[in-house]
């Protein structure tokens, strides 16, 4: 027995020795100022502990970083990064669907934040082969936007700010939910994001989620994300509210409104409920989407606010 | 073709070397211009190791610009050769893979490959090749009333096939709902910016053997231009040579299309220019097309990067803007 115990002791001390050597080697192997995280596509990305030179590869990511008050870390953005307006002053690295690889590399970023939908995967792969970490996010609805805000907050050491922002978003969403829970009727909404051709939003879009949350029925719901419609189809669905958010200018809006007004039988026309809204509230997965949600409630259920006032 | 052998070889070297020099100048320009605006002097110093190395400039020059200009040189050479071969085989100075719809057919094949989720190589390259062979057969069948290919019939059926291909491409693009759409559209316009070194290597491995094959058959092309009977009596197996050349050219063109989309009119501009400069001997024209066409597309790509204020435009836009007016000019001239 005694022999065995001493044997075990030897083994144990050997094991401890090897483990400590191994951990020392691992410690040496990892750069001390970086950590490995898993992005929203499930890929392992080694990011710097304190990223100071971030290139944002989409307008909504730029917006999130600004909303976290971390714009000093941003050294490059994509074209159309126009909110907040300070973002427009930053160097541009192409548009988010057609990134300028050389520009990105020339800015010497220590981290790029990409989105799954839109950013060409080839560019992300090449950035990684050039040893520039690419963290990809995939915000698809309010819940994943909040998740994205928290994750980006974690990446750039703004957890507290991110927490506050998400709490605020959550609070406002809950408020809308409780407000809408009383409504008995859900008006038929046609949400028009494209003028020519007429394009609306299907079930798998965040705008659909917003319409439902705001107490409306999306008449364009269906498996196609951005379905095209003929005028006839829309008339057949007889929308009660039409919301147009194309990037069109006011003049074109009047034209579109006049187009719809030719059909006075349309409930939306009869009740004068055709609205033009800033597409930025709706087409970018950012915290501002909550503003969009509150706006939608006012458009779809104005009676809720009349009663309150 | 009774040129003295030593004289021919001398001409071959002179022409090849001078065009290689042009290509080198173009490549140097291509290396030194880019969206990051690093000065030409800095690039020069980097190339010859004068300054202490700036690792970022190193990366930009060798990992971003270098694969791109190599691709442009390869594609330019290929498309010029494509034009040269088609013009010789079909005895039509206006024949060119893009105008005849061969490129369009490859593009259809490539888009189908992309939509089916294949990798660039070998999946998309293979579907592109099938597309180009299908259009080639279609054009040949359509235009051959008898065995002789009439000039206008060929050109017309090519233009029609090209228009049809355009429609099918639009159909496929409008079917695509997701974000891949943007990528397809940029790629279609002839985008050279998305390749890295291993991909250029694969493409070179596909194209370089074809270059040598075409050079091997360059004298046969000379003889074919003198007429089928003549070529036959001079010991050319007309049918075999025609099939080999057409298939090799379609293969080369489809390979370039699957990597950088539709770059039009290169095969029209370069062979015409070179024929004016160096005469009609294909033994000189084949290598001249490889180097001259390469230099031309590298230049066009430099323009594509330098012209727009923000971002860059696809090189195919530039080549079409230069090539289409020239096509009209040539069409008018040959009619006379």
For B126-168, what is each residue's pLDDT tens digit? 999 999 999 988 888 877 665 455 667 777 888 888 899 999 9
Find the closest chain B residue to A226 by CA distance.
Answer: B177
Mean pLDDT along residues B250-264: 90
When scoring A60, A77, A94, A98 by the number of chain B Cβ atoms within 10 A, the one with the most, hence best to mutate, is A98
Is the peptide bond prior to A84 cis by the omega test (within 30 degrees of 0)? yes
Find the closest chain A residue to B68 by CA distance.
Answer: A102
Task: Give the lowest-confidence range in A25-34, B207-216, B282-291.
Answer: A25-34
Distance CA A56, CA A77 (A): 5
Q: Interior CA angle at A254 toward A253 and A260, to 5°?
A: 90
The answer for A 92-111 residues in CB contact with B (under 8 A) is 92, 94-95, 97-98, 100-103, 105-106, 108
Asked if A102's CB is within 8 angstroms of B65's CB, the reply is yes
Of A81-85, A114-118, A171-175, A235-239, give the range with the top mean pLDDT.
A171-175
Whether A161 has its CB under 8 Å from any CB of chain B: the answer is: no
Asked if A129's CB is within 8 angstroms of B35's CB, the reply is no
Asked if A130's CB is within 8 angstroms of B59's CB, the reply is yes
Judged against a pLDDT cut of 80, whether residue B176 lies above it is answered with no
The three-class DSSP label of residue A246 is: coil
Per the structure block, which two tokens stand in for A70? 């971390």
Closest CA to A123 of B211, B179, B20: B179
Distance CA B68, CA A44 (A): 29
Domains of chain B: 81-334 (1.10.3470.10)
Interface A–B counts its CB contacts (< 8 A) at 58
Judged against a pLDDT cut of 50, whether residue B26 lies above it is answered with yes
> What is the distance in angstroms between the Cα of B291 and the nearest Cα belonging to chain A?
26
Percent helix, percent strand, percent coil in chain A, to nearest 5 = 50, 15, 35
- Asked if B199 and B67 touch (Cβ cutoff 8 Å), the reply is yes
Distance CA B199, CA B3 (A): 41
Per the structure block, which two tokens stand in for A146? 């909040």
First to last CA, chain A: 87
Express as a percent the part of chain B with pLDDT over 70: 91
Q: Which residue in this structure is represented by tokens 């090449």?
A: A126
Q: Any residues with CB less than 8 A from the CB of B322 and at least 6 apart, and which?
A: B265, B269, B300
Count CA atoms closer than 13 A to A38's CA, side-chain side.
Answer: 2
- Asked if A253 and A242 touch (Cβ cutoff 8 Å), the reply is no
Find the closest chain B residue to A97 by CA distance.
Answer: B182
Asked if A105's CB is within 8 angstroms of B36's CB, the reply is yes
A202: left (phi over 0), alpha (psi -120 to 50) or beta: beta
- Please tell me which of the candidates B56, B63, B177 has its beta carbon nearest to residue A224: B177
> What is the distance in angstroms between the Cα of A300 and the nearest Cα belonging to chain B?
29
- Asked if B229 and B93 touch (Cβ cutoff 8 Å), the reply is no
Q: What's the 3-state SS for chain B?
A: CCCCHHHHHHHHHHHHHHHHHHHHHHHHHHHHCCCCCCCHHHHHHHHCCCCCCCHHHHHHHHHHHHHHHHHHHHHHHHHHHHHHHHHHHCCCCCCCCCCCCHHHHHHHHHHHHHHCCCCHHHHHHHHHHHHHHHHHHHHHHHHCCCCCCCHHHHHHHHHHHHHHHHHHHHHHHHHCCCCHHHHHHHHHCCCCCCCCHHHHHHHHHHHHHHHHHHHHCHHHHHHHHCCHHHHHHCCCCHHHHHHHHHHHHHHHHHHHHHHHCCCCCHHHHHHHHHHHHHCCCHHHHHHHHHHHHHHHHHHHHHHHHHCCCCCCCCHHHHHHHHHHHHHHHHHHHHHC
Question: What does the pLDDT read at residue A81?
Answer: 87
The tens digit of pLDDT for each residue in A51-75 reads 999 999 999 999 999 999 999 999 9
Distance CA B224, CA B226 (A): 5
Question: What does the pLDDT read at residue A252?
Answer: 76
Question: What does the pLDDT read at residue B1?
Answer: 47
Mean pLDDT of chain B: 85
Is the peptide bond prior to B123 cis by the omega test (within 30 degrees of 0)? no
Start-end of H helices in A181-230: 206-213
Residue A231 phi, psi dihedral angles, 5° rounding: -60, -40
DSSP secondary structure code for residue A205 in this structure? S
Start-end of H helices in chain A: 2-29, 59-67, 101-106, 121-129, 142-155, 159-180, 206-213, 231-237, 250-261, 267-270, 289-300, 302-308
- Asked if B79 and B293 touch (Cβ cutoff 8 Å), the reply is yes
Asked if B311's CB is within 8 angstroms of A94's CB, the reply is yes
A190 forms beta bridges with A242
What torsion, rounded to 10 degrees, do the Cα atoms B156, B157, B160, B162 define?
Answer: -110
Distance CA A52, CA A208 (A): 37
The tens digit of pLDDT for each residue in A284-297 reads 889 999 999 999 99
Distance CA B183, CA B322 (A): 25
Asked if B194's CB is within 8 angstroms of A105's CB, the reply is no
Mean pLDDT along residues A86-102: 89
Asked if B177's CB is within 8 angstroms of A225's CB, the reply is yes
> What is the distance in angstroms between the Cα of B259 and the nearest Cα belonging to chain A?
12
Question: What does the pLDDT read at residue A19?
Answer: 66
Question: What does the pLDDT read at residue A10?
Answer: 66
> What is the distance in angstroms between the Cα of A164 and the nearest Cα belonging to chain B?
32
Residue B17 pLDDT class (50, 70, 90 cuts): very high
Asked if A224's CB is within 8 angstroms of B35's CB, the reply is no
Judged against a pLDDT cut of 60, whether residue B317 lies above it is answered with yes
- Please tell me which of the candidates A103, A120, A225 has its beta carbon nearest to residue B36: A103
The tens digit of pLDDT for each residue in B221-243 reads 888 888 888 888 888 888 888 88
Find the closest chain B residue to A225 by CA distance.
Answer: B177
When scoring A88, A101, A118 by the number of chain B Cβ atoms within 10 A, the one with the most, hence best to mutate, is A101
Task: Give the lowest-confidence range in A23-27, A131-135, B58-62, B119-123.
Answer: A23-27
Residues of B within 8 A of A120 (CB-CB) are: 182-183, 194
Cα torsion A282, A284, A288, A290: sign: positive
When scoring B66, B175, B193, B308 by the number of chain A Cβ atoms within 10 A, the one with the most, hence best to mutate, is B193
Task: Give the lowest-confidence range in A50-59, A90-99, B86-95, B198-207.
Answer: B86-95
Express as a percent the part of chain B with pLDDT over 90: 34
Distance CA B86, CA B80 (A): 10
Q: What is the ipTM of this complex?
A: 0.76
A56 forms beta bridges with A113
Residues of B within 8 A of A203 (CB-CB) are: none
A160: left (phi over 0), alpha (psi -120 to 50) or beta: alpha
B69: left (phi over 0), alpha (psi -120 to 50) or beta: alpha
Residue A265 pLDDT class (50, 70, 90 cuts): confident
A229 forms beta bridges with A198
Whether A129 has its CB under 8 Å from any CB of chain B: the answer is: yes
Closest CA to B272 of B216, B215, B329: B329
B contact set with A (CB within 8 A): 34-38, 56, 59-60, 63-65, 177-179, 182-183, 186, 193-194, 196, 310-312
Asked if B310's CB is within 8 angstroms of A92's CB, the reply is yes
Judged against a pLDDT cut of 60, whether residue B319 lies above it is answered with yes
- Asked if A109 and A175 touch (Cβ cutoff 8 Å), the reply is no
Residue A1 pLDDT class (50, 70, 90 cuts): very low
A276 forms beta bridges with A244
The tens digit of pLDDT for each residue in A154-185 reads 999 999 999 999 999 999 999 999 999 988 89
Distance CA B156, CA B78 (A): 24
> What is the distance in angstroms between the Cα of A44 and the nearest Cα belonging to chain B?
23
- Please tell me which of the candidates A105, A118, A225 has its beta carbon nearest to residue B64: A105
The three-class DSSP label of residue A302 is: helix
Q: Which residue in this structure is represented by tokens 């231009």?
A: B225
Count CA atoms closer than 13 A to A247's CA, side-chain side.
Answer: 4
Rg (CA), chain A: 25
Residue A101 phi, psi dihedral angles, 5° rounding: -55, -45
């Amino acid at each position: 027995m005694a022999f065995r115990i001493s044997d075990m002791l030897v083994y144990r001390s050997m094991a401890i020795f090897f483990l400590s050597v191994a951990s020392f080697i691992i410690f040496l192997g990892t750069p001390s100022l970086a950590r490995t995280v898993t992005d929203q596509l499930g890929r392992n990305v080694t990011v710097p502990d304190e990223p100071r030179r971030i290139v944002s590869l989409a307008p909504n990511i730029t917006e999130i970083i600004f909303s976290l008050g971390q714009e000093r870390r941003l050294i490059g953005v994509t074209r159309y990064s126009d909110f907040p307006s300070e973002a427009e002053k930053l160097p541009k690295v192409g548009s988010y669907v057609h990134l300028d690889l050389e520009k990105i590399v020339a800015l010497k970023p220590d981290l790029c934040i990409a989105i799954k939908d839109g950013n060409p995967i080839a560019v992300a792969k090449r950035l990684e082969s050039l040893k520039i970490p690419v963290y990809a996010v995939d915000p698809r609805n309010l819940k994943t936007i909040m998740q994205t805000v928290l994750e980006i907050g974690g990446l750039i050491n703004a957890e507290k700010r991110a927490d506050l922002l998400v709490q605020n978003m959550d609070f406002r969403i809950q408020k809308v939910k409780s407000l809408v829970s009383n409504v008995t009727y859900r008006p038929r909404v046609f949400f028009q994001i494209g003028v020519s051709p007429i394009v609306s939003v299907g079930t798998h879009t965040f705008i659909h989620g917003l319409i439902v949350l705001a107490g409306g029925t999306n008449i364009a719901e269906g498996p196609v994300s951005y379905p095209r419609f003929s005028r006839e189809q829309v008339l057949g669905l007889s929308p009660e509210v039409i919301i147009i958010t194309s990037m069109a200018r006011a003049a074109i809006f009047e034209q579109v409104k006049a187009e719809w007004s030719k059909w006075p039988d349309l409930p939306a026309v009869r009740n004068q409920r055709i609205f033009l809204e800033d597409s930025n509230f709706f087409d970018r997965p950012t915290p501002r989407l909550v503003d969009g949600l509150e706006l939608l409630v006012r458009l779809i259920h104005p009676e809720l606010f009349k009663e309150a006032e | 073709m009774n040129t003295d052998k030593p004289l021919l070889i001398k001409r071959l070297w002179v022409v090849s070397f001078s065009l290689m020099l042009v290509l080198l100048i173009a490549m140097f320009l291509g290396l030194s211009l880019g969206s990051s605006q690093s000065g030409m002097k800095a690039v020069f110093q980097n190339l010859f190791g004068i300054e202490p190395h700036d690792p970022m400039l190193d990366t930009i020059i060798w990992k971003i610009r270098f694969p791109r200009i190599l691709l442009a040189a390869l594609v330019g050479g290929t498309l010029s050769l494509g034009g040269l071969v088609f013009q010789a085989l079909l005895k039509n100075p206006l024949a060119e893979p893009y105008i005849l719809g061969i490129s369009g057919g490859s593009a259809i094949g490539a888009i189908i490959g992309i939509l089916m989720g294949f990798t660039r190589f070998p999946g998309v390259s293979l579907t592109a090749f099938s597309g180009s062979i299908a259009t080639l057969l279609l054009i040949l069948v359509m235009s051959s009333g008898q065995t002789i290919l009439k000039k206008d019939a060929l050109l017309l059926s090519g233009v029609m096939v090209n228009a049809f291909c355009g429609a099918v491409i639009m159909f496929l693009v409008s079917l695509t709902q997701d974000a891949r759409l943007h990528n397809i559209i940029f790629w279609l316009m002839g985008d050279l910016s998305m390749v890295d070194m291993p991909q250029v290597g694969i493409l070179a491995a596909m194209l370089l053997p074809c270059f040598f094959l075409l050079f091997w058959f360059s004298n046969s092309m000379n003889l074919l231009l003198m007429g089928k009977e003549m070529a036959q009596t001079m010991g050319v197996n007309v049918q075999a040579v025609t099939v080999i050349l057409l298939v090799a050219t379609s293969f080369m063109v489809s390979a370039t299309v699957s990597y950088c989309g539709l770059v039009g009119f290169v095969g029209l501009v370069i062979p015409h220019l070179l024929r004016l400069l160096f005469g009609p001997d294909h033994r000189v024209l084949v290598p001249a097309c490889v180097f001259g066409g390469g230099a031309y597309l590298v230049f066009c790509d430099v323009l594509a990067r330098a012209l727009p204020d923000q971002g860059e435009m696809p090189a195919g836009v530039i080549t079409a803007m230069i090539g289409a007016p020239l096509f009209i000019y040539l069409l008018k001239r040959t009619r006379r």
